[in-house]
Amino acid sequence: MNWLLSIALPAAVFATSASSQEQTLKEQEQRPNIIMIITDDHAYQTLGTCDKDSPMPYPNFHKMADEGMVFDRSYCANSLCGPSRACIYTGRHSHMNGYLFNEHAKPFDGSQPTFPKMLQKAGYQTGLVGKWHLESNPTGFDYWEIFPGQGNYFNPDFITPGKDGKRIVTRVPGYATELVTQKSIDWLDKRDKDKPFMLVVGHKAPHRNWCPSIQNLGRAKQFADTIDPPSNLKDDFSDRPDFLKKTEQTLANHFDVWSDEHLIKEVVPEDIRKMIVCPKYEWPMPEWGRMNPEQKKAWYDYHKARTEKLVKDIRSGKIKNKDDILLQRWRHYMEDYLGTVLSVDESIGQLMDYLDKNGLAENTIVLYCGDQGFYMGEHGLYDKRWIFEESFRMPLIMRWKGHIAPGVRSEAFVQEIDYAPTFCDVAGIATPENMATFQGKSLTPLFKTGEHKDFSDRPLYYAFYENPGEHNAPRHDGLRSGKYTLSYLWTSDEWMLFDNEKDPAQMHNVYNKPEYAEDTRKLTELYKQLRQTYQVPDGFPGAKGKLSVTPKWDCAPKGSNANPEPASTN
Ligand code: SGN
Ligand code: CA
């Protein structure tokens, strides 16, 4: 099947030379539908597309990967939910779309160009269900039904547009992942079948505080109890920038035993409480107040037994020191996280089944992604933010039967700013005007084999702005190129460089090592070039102080030395 041929046709729809109305209609029918399924904080380490990339099996992720392409070098642009999503919708880096951080941010400026707006203008019917997290009302969607902010797992609220710009908030009984799936399928069922569609399915899962559905409680336990922890679970943060020691996202010292680990307070005697709690991290379990009596009972019974087991193990000496407590905490964290992903796997299965059963598989491109990466205990951390691989890299699977080669794992360097131009390309609206607003590029050249010269060792720019902020990660930017990750920490004026081939766990900063001097010089030059190419304002992200930026979408590279495709360094 020549996918190029099949998607080259629709481009003609928008040219003035369409021969007849009948022809135009026929071509419009061929425009592919688009579904973007986006989860919140899904780690590629738990993707489930093969035996190697998850501690437990996820049959539907596995099947989707068999039928589509998995991108093993897919990266975000800013490892934080709102900013990352802004990059996805606009196809531009944070300093261009203006959404730099979650906290104290102005709402996303929805007047700027985005892929949903472009598709809507081109005649697609567009829908968005679930997580949005950009505060302002979504633009470019004919239909939207979103969570307020982060949303909730149990009996979540949904916002729909009311009259005069007002928002209608409705609490819906059920579990978030299942509700988002059902509402997405309902929208697909009710859509106008004569038009192509673009649907965003936005899951809350598996975001903190990692609450599996009631029926999935305990289903991940056998895996979490027997797998090996990451080699650097007890990372002491030596041999890297000092600022790392100030981070507040460690499992050992910044994890709440009640709301994050789901221990039941009244079961823990005072002497044991003192042993296990992280000072300053004692919060009520936020989902508890949302549950109905049956959900509460099931949740309580399950976690009471789990807490009693912990207390028993401490009393018997099976768990005897801080390291043992950390390991058990990590196992509880894994169990809850993996259990939460189970519902996402079910959702993928239901959505793919729907497409298959309704004859839509060949004419619908499905993109599955997270909104950034996540630490599953690597470096002793949870959460994301830092440019380390587990946070920078993010899951990406694309399925489009007959158009994207099935069962391929691509090593191409791709970034979330590429999704918007890809969608425009497959929809036949890769007009110069649309494409000039993007900083990413269409991934369609990869569809046949997963390889293409434009994407092999393509350098990728990263920036993180949220400091001050929760978890105290520094403002930093940097790049991924070839085997290297280079980063400048603006908050503390420190550089770090990792040789990912020799040191995949990123435990040693080689920035000042004489044997890396030449590569460091080249990479620093490349970093400057990338900043110029992407029009990063001088002094961004900056060390401290308020930052705000007005969105811009003239993405032609600026400056006499600007090179739109800087050569990578290996
Ligand atoms: C919440 C979480 C943080 C998380 C941010 C951002 N704390 O504030 O741990 O980093 O969201 O996440 S919580 O206790 O309220 O869950 S993001 O995915 O939206 O960027
Ligand atoms: Ca997120």
DSSP state letters, 307-369: HHHHHHHHHHTSS-SHHHHHHHHHHHHHHHHHHHHHHHHHHHHHHHHHHHHTT-STTEEEEEE
Domain closes at, from 293, 308, 335: 335
Confirm whether 11 is domain-assigned: no
| Residue 551 domain flag | no
Out of 131, 470, 471, mutate this one to test ligand 1's pocket (max ligand atoms within 8 Å of CB): namely 470
Q: Is the pLDDT of residue 478 over 90?
A: yes
What phi and psi, each to the nearest 5 degrees, are found at residue 287? -80, -15
Domain end position, chosen among 287, 307, 335: 335
Amino acid identity at 447 = F
**Which residue minimizes the CA distance to atom 4 of ligand 1?**
383
On whether residue 550 sits in a domain, the answer given is no
| Ligand 2 center–CA 44 separation, angstroms | 13
Of residues 151 and 27, the one with the higher pLDDT is: 151
Q: Is residue 21 part of a domain?
A: no
Q: Quick check: is 515 in a domain?
A: no
180 in Cβ contact with 203 (< 8 Å): yes
Q: Map 112-153 to HEC letters.
A: CCCHHHHHHHCCCEEEEEECCCCCCCCCCCCEEEECCCCCCC
Q: Are residues 43 and 156 in the same domain?
A: yes
Query: Does residue 80 surpass a pLDDT of 80?
Result: yes
Choosing from 39, 42, 102, 374 the residue with most ligand 1 atoms within 8 A of its CB, the one to mutate for a pocket test is 102
315 and 383 in one domain?
A: no
Region label for 164, one of left (φ > 0), alpha (ψ between -120 and 50) or beta (otherwise): left
Percentage of residues of the chain with pLDDT beyond 90: 88
The verdict on 105 and 87 lying in the same domain is yes
In this structure, the residues whose C-beta lies within 6 A of any atom of ligand 1 are: 40-41, 80-81, 102, 150, 207-209, 383, 470-471
**What sections of 397-508 are H helices per DSSP?**
419-426, 432-435
- Nearest Cα to 463, choosing from 446, 443, 439, 442? 439
In a domain, 496, yes or no: no
User: What's residue 120's pLDDT?
Assistant: 98
Mean pLDDT within 292-319: 98
The residue-averaged pLDDT of 216-243 equals: 98
Residues 398 and 381 in one domain: yes
Rounded-to-integer distance, Cα 553 and Cα 560, Å: 19
Q: Are residues 347 and 316 in the same domain?
A: no
Domain residue limits at 439: 31-209+341-454
Asked if residue 561 has pLDDT above 60, the reply is no
Q: How far is the CA of 474 from the centre of ligand 1 (A)?
A: 16
Single pTM value for the model: 0.94
Alpha carbon nearest to ligand 1 atom 16, residue: 208
Q: Are residues 275 and 400 in the same domain?
A: no
pLDDT(260) > 60? yes
Helices (H), 491-533: 517-533
Peptide bond into 541 cis (omega under 30): yes
Distance CA 181, CA 537 (A): 40
Answer whether residue 500 shows pLDDT above 50.
yes
Q: Are residues 86 and 113 in the same domain?
A: yes
Residue 556 lies in a domain: no
CATH number assigned to the domain comprising residue 60: 3.40.720.10
C-beta atoms surrounding 6 within 10 Å: 16
78 upstream amide cis, omega within 30 of 0: no
Instruction: Give the sheet arrangement for strand 396-399, strand by strand.
Output: 167-171, 157-161, 143-146, 125-130, 197-202, 33-38, 364-369, 396-399, 69-71, 408-410
- Judge if 189 and 75 occupy the same domain: yes
The total number of structural domains in the chain stands at: 2
Of 335, 350, 378, the position where a domain reaches its end is 335
200 and 248, same domain (yes or no): no
E strand map for 97-245:
125-130, 143-146, 157-161, 167-171, 197-202
Check whether residue 286 and residue 326 sit in a common domain.
yes
Between 326 and 52, name the one with better pLDDT: 326
What is the per-residue pLDDT across 124-172, written as a single tens digit (0 to 9) for each?
A: 999 999 999 999 999 999 999 999 999 999 999 999 999 988 999 999 9
The answer on pLDDT for 44 being more than 50 is yes
Distance from Cα 521 to the centre of ligand 1, integer Å: 36
Confidence class for position 103, pLDDT limits 50, 70, 90: confident
Q: How confident is the model at residue 17 (pLDDT cuts 50, 70, 90)?
A: very low
For residues 322 and 361, state if they share a domain.
no
**Structural domain contains residue 169:** yes
Tell the residue nearest (CA) to atom 20 of ligand 1: 81
User: Each residue of 106-123: pLDDT tens digit?
Assistant: 799 999 999 999 999 999
In a shared domain, residues 258 and 144: no
Mean pLDDT of the chain: 93
Give the Å distance between the CA of 284 and the centre of ligand 1: 15
